[in-house]
Structure 1
C-alpha cells in the first residue's frame, strides 16, 4: 500500500532531520517553521492548515511546544477573531540556519543514493502526485470523530 510506504518514508526523513535540528524534535517543526519563515512577516492560520494538510483543531496542539519555547508567536487575527496569525519569534529566527542545514543534510543523504537527476525527478513526481490527489479532494474537509 503506497500510503504505508509514504508514511514510513516521511517518518524516516523526519528522524534524519532530527539528528541535525535543535530541540524539540517535533515532527512538524522544520515544515512549519520553513513555511512561516517564507511568508512576509505573518502567516494566516488557514494558510498553515492548508499547507500542512491538517484540520484546524489539530494545528495548535502540533505547534504548542514551538509556541511554548518561543520559536513561534501566535497573535489573534484582527480579520477573524477565532483564527491566529503566526510568525517566527526571535528564538525561531536564530534556529533557522540550523533548520536549513538539517534539510540540506537529509537531502544530501538521499542524493548520495539516488544521484542529483533522480532526486530531482523524484521531487517532480511527488509534486505531480500531490496535484493529482488534491484535485480529487476539492471541497472535502477531513472531520475527526
Structure 2
C-alpha cells in the first residue's frame, strides 16, 4: 500500500474483492492525509506559526514549496486514486537548515507510518472467506 503508484490489483491471486477495495481505500486515504499535511505545513510557514524566525520560515516554506511542485503535489491538488503517487513520496523531503525543530521535515512527518499498517484479517472473516476452497491465504501488504 505504501509503495504502490497505482491501484492495487490481485494479479490473479485468490484475494477477495473487498480486501482489494480496502487496500486501495487505505492507500488513497493515507496519500490524501499526507497531501493535506504538506499543504498545512506549508501554510504554517507562510503565516508564521512554524519556524523560529523569518529566515527559517522563508527557507522552509521555499524548500517545501519547491519539493511539492517537483512531486506534482502543489497545484492542482492531486485527487484519488492518486495515480503515479505513492505514500512514500514524503521520504523525498529533506532539509538540514539549522537546529530548530521546525527546520526538519522529519519532525513533521514522524507521525506518518512507514510502511502503512496492513489490514486486519479479522475484518474480512466471515462466510465469503470461509467458503473459499483454497488453502490458507497469507496476506502481507
Same fold, TM-score > 0.5, yes or no: no
Query: How high is the TM-score relative to the length of structure 2?
Result: 0.24
Query: RCO (CA 8 Å, sep 6+): is it higher in 1 or 2?
Result: 2
Query: How high is the TM-score relative to the length of structure 1?
Result: 0.24
The structure number with the bigger radius of gyration is 2
Higher percent of residues as helix:
1
Higher percent of residues as strand:
1
